[in-house]
Structure 1
Amino acid sequence: MTEHEERKQRRLDARSLRGLAHPLRMQLLDTLRQRGPATASQLAERFGESSGATSYHLRQLAAHGFVEDAPERGKGRERWWQAVDQGLVFDTAEFEDAGPEVRGLAEVFLYEVANTHARELSTWLDARKDWSEAWSRGSDMSDATLRLTPELAAELVTRMHALIDGYRSLVGDEDTPDAETVRIHTHLFPINTD
């Protein structure tokens, strides 16, 4: 994998969390990461917001380094935005000793990630009849219950991420027949069985 093909990820810290932990900002960033550059007006239409609101939140994301101008797209007064990074890394250990404001922002961030996963899954369930039988068979909505130590859980997460990363370069160009962009959600957390 070349440096250009490498998936650029950003590690969240307290400062960047302040600029991101807002539901609309997170949705705007996700959309730019998944669908590519867009204008504030296009994003406003997509989310049923005013272009003033999306412009404001895009400027906040830019101030914290999450988005930037897409100069090759802009013509005249039309401002196009693009995501700077293709992924986010959130390490809960970095926020354990943070003050209440930052811990609250971390909670907003985590709940919005969970809400996004639920929305995406619901959207798939609503639209699956429009996809081929092959895609229905290729999709997954499963769960498993294991007994693990925290160390084994962390190892499993690392191995799952490595497995997923190994599939990134298997389908190269946009012209590959039957290739589609897919979303993969993984969740691993302890449960109380009492």
Structure 2
Amino acid sequence: MQEPEPSKYRNLDARSLRGIAHPLRMQLLNALRRYGPATASMLAERLGESSGATSYHLRQLATHGFVEDAPERGKGRERWWQAVEQGIGFDENLLVDADPAVRGAADLFLHEVATTHARELSTWVGTREDWLPKWSHSTDMSDWTVRLTPERTRELVGKIHELLETYEDEEAPDAEQVRFHLHAFPTESE
């Protein structure tokens, strides 16, 4: 009997949220997910941090199960790290948890996600000419405003997630990593 494939996504609970809700930890995890296994020194150089800081925060991420050793990469004393899962699920109930520390960590987590999305989009705008002409009609920065109930919004987000999962693991020689940011939130109408 074949063992089931481990989940690609992890749902945060109060304990794991406290382990990830730090800007550098979130950047480290994002870098490992996007670029693959790396050492603390490599990540320090990529993120403009000290290797001491990256090493400490990688160990904290490991304590909470977000990263693990990549022993097939290590040579001698060199320690390589890899992400355990490829995504995080966020439970909105963490924002109303009875513990103020959990609510604070949830708020910090969401603000860091929003900051990361804005930074990635801004980087794309600043480097888009590097991708032309091949990608000139393949990118999108659209926005939509529709009137939906909370239930219909959940349904639509779920359908978008399901659709994106059908496009994973493209192996074509000209395939690149493509980031999709989905933001769905209510706004006041006039």
Q: State the TM-score, normalizing by the size of structure 1.
A: 0.92
Deviation, 1:95, is 4.4
What are the Cα deviations for residues 140-183 of structure 1, in whole angstroms up to 9, with x where unaligned?
000001001111111110011111111114x2x3xx23211110
What are the Cα deviations for residues 28-86 of structure 1, in whole angstroms up to 9, with x where unaligned?
00000111000000111111111000000000000000000000000111000000011
| Partners of 2:95 and 2:107 within 8 A in 1 | no
Matches within 5 A, 1:18-97: 18-97=18-97
1: CA distance between counterparts of 2:7 and 2:14? 23
Matches within 5 A, 1:43-192: 43-169=43-169, 171=170, 173=171, 176-192=172-188
State percent identity of aligned pairs. 65
Aligned pair in 2 of structure 1 residues 187, 92: CA closer, same or farther (>3 Å)?
A: same
2: CA distance between counterparts of 1:96 and 1:180? 38
2: CA distance between counterparts of 1:183 and 1:3? 27
| Partners of 2:94 and 2:103 within 8 A in 1 | no
| Partners of 1:10 and 1:88 within 8 A in 2 | yes
Aligned residues: 188
Aligned pair in 2 of structure 1 residues 7, 142: CA closer, same or farther (>3 Å)?
A: farther
What amino acid sits opposite 2:47 in the alignment?
Answer: F
Deviation, 1:3, is 5.1
2: CA distance between counterparts of 1:118 and 1:30? 14
Which sections of structure 1, spanning at least 5 residues, go unmatched?
none
What are the Cα deviations for residues 82-140 of structure 1, in whole angstroms up to 9, with x where unaligned?
00011100010244233111000000000000000001001111111011323121000
2: CA distance between counterparts of 1:45 and 1:157? 36
| Partners of 2:44 and 2:54 within 8 A in 1 | yes
What amino acid sits opposite 1:54 in the alignment?
Answer: T
The 3-state SS of whatever aligns with 1:141 is: coil
| Partners of 1:37 and 1:80 within 8 A in 2 | yes
2: CA distance between counterparts of 1:148 and 1:9? 27
The 3-state SS of whatever aligns with 1:138 is: coil
| Partners of 2:67 and 2:82 within 8 A in 1 | yes
